[in-house]
Amino acid sequence: MSNSNVIIYDTTLRDGSQAEGVSFTVSAKLRLAQKFDQFGIDYIEGGWPGSNPRDMAFFEKAVDLELDHSKIAAFGSTRRASASVEDDPQIKLLLDAATPVVTIFGKSWLLHVTDVLRTTPEENLSMIEDSVRFLKEQGKEVIYDAEHFYDGYANDPDYALSTLEAAQRGGADFLVLCETNGGKLVTPFSRATAEVVERFPDTPIGVHCHNDAGVGVAASLAGVEAGATMVQGTMNGYGERNGNANLTTIIPNLEIKMGLRTNSGSHLAKLRDLSLFVDDATNLRPDIRAPYVGTASFAHKGGVHADAASKSNRSYEHVDPSIVGNRTRVLVSDMSGRSSVMMKAKEMGMQVDGRSPEMKTFLEELKRLEFQGYEFESADASFDLLLRRFLRGQGHAFDVLQYHVGVGRESEGDQSSSEATVKLKVGDEIRHTVADGNGPVSALDHALRKALEKDFPYIGVIRLTDFKVRILESNLGTDAITRVHIESTDGTSTWGTVGVSDNVITASWEALLDSVSYKILLTSENES
């Protein structure tokens, strides 16, 4: 199968939207459809017409999308029991969606036929065949999803297969085996898939897996090895319960590991960007440990690992990160050795002499800070500033002379207010400002920017995208040490900073100072 093509069917916009915390606007669905097309996805399932106004609005607008490769599919069910397919309102809505492809699902498991549909096994077969045939007669490409196929096959293989035969008689272009409950392990899944492929040599077979047992990707790949030529899944594994099989893992595995071809193969270098785009469209934070596309996918923390990776990436990286649009990262912590710091400095564009006394002093300081509670793995900007201070004697572009913050309210029932005062020295001049905020950290942030905006107007674009507070050694109660992580962006770059103190305001102030200082550093270097 080394030169075989595997068809990728994306159901992020329909199945993925059933995930907890995921909701797509119509405009987001349209943008995602265009992104999937640019990435070479073969089929894009847009939603279920009639299930909600948003899906109907999407299909109305999708007809105007200029797609180079992808086909939009509308999703629905077979006709209702004891009703004619021509008069079924749900079938009519599928036609009204005006998509070139229609995907319908039917029941494969007798339990669902008798207890859910409350009809006879024979009527269920007629519902499948009638619906597929009618849609084919209307000029549609029809993909038949055999819902709960693997449970149905385990319960009564003859009946489960007869449902596929009914779809085949109706003229289905694909028969897709759905592991709807997501509980089957790879071996029985693979065995059943292979038997179906052998039984239906003239109709392409697809697989649709969920991740309830944690093997959604593995089962999908095993299905391809068993002869399936279509894989259905979602970007980033979005989906109900534990999610669907993750296409951002499946596609590179097919291409890189299995030597198979997909129409997304020539776009693999955009895989991480696509993954982040999907997360952004749902307003969810990316999974840093996602295979191939995660921030941590090619990150090295242990000194031995980092040293080996610096000499040969293959020693601790299973693929070249650039193939999927990712990169090697070195994490600096109290586990780091000299080689880790040197790699990190090189990553930041700094040339460092590993044998210098400054390097020894820096490593000692790094370990001392880590012992106090600092953590630089997600605070590259704070680490960069620390490294520059020790190895180059390069400090902040300003000096903090004083700061103060107060929280209170004027009378009972009023909302509390915060006011911060900041006094800085920039060059030979003193900047003394006061600002309000909806909290003490917000007030400090506003006062700091106000004090610096005359000298560094570009700091106005900085936006805090994440603010995390971690209590260290919580058994100490209110005397516990607090670590604050801040993530900032200027719209182009993103950086992390850290502050540690037994006072949460002080820890936050440290992280804020580093965030602004790093932006000043970036801008000054770009201008020089």
At the topology level of CATH, where does 7-282 sit? TIM Barrel (3.20.20)
Distance CA 129, CA 14 (A): 24
Distance CA 220, CA 381 (A): 40
* Cα 89 off chain centre by: 36
| Burial track 254-276 (b if 16+ CB lie within 10 A, e otherwise) | bbbebebbbbbbebbebbbbbbe
Q: In what side-by-side order are the strands of the sheet with 429-437?
A: 399-408, 417-426, 429-437
pLDDT digits (tens, 9 = 90+) for 231-245: 999 999 999 999 999
At the topology level of CATH, where does 398-455 sit? Double Stranded RNA Binding Domain (3.30.160)
Element (H, E) at 446: helix 440-452
Residues 6+ apart with CB under 8 A from 488: 381, 462, 463, 464, 465, 494, 495, 496, 497, 515, 518, 519
Distance CA 31, CA 37 (A): 10
CATH 1.10.10.10, domain 373-394+460-528, yes or no: no
Evaluate whether 264 touches 44 at the Cβ level (below 8 Å).
Answer: no
Residues 6+ apart with CB under 8 A from 374: 382, 483, 498, 500
CB atoms < 10 A from the CB of 487, how many? 20
The token pair at 511 is 């992280």
- Residue 344: the pLDDT is 66
Evaluate whether 262 touches 1 at the Cβ level (below 8 Å).
Answer: no
pLDDT digits (tens, 9 = 90+) for 324-343: 998 776 666 545 556 667 76
Q: Given this chain, do its domains 373-394+460-528 and 398-455 carry the same CATH topology?
A: yes
The token pair at 108 is 């494969």
Evaluate whether 151 touches 181 at the Cβ level (below 8 Å).
Answer: yes
Tell me which residues of the chain have a pLDDT lower than 70.
Answer: 1-4, 301-315, 329-340, 343-344, 346-349, 354, 410-414, 474-479, 528
Beta bridge partners of 433: 422
CA–CA–CA angle 526, 527, 528 (5° rounding): 95
Beta bridge partners of 77: 105
* Cα 147 off chain centre by: 26
| Residue whose C-alpha is closest to residue 456's, from 396, 510, 402 | 396
Name the pTM for this structure. Answer: 0.74
Domain ranges within the chain, ordered by starting residue: 7-282, 299-360, 373-394+460-528, 398-455
Write the DSSP symbol of residue 477. Answer: G
- In the chain, what's the furthest Cα-to-Cα distance? 89
Residues 6+ apart with CB under 8 A from 153: 108, 160, 161, 192
Torsion angle, alpha carbons of 519, 521, 526, 528, to 10:
150
Question: In Å, how far are 172, 178, 208, 231 from 145, measured between CA atoms?
Answer: 10, 6, 8, 12
| Residue whose C-alpha is closest to residue 300's, from 269, 344, 338, 253 | 344
Q: Are strands 494-501 and 481-489 parallel, antiparallel or unpaired?
A: antiparallel
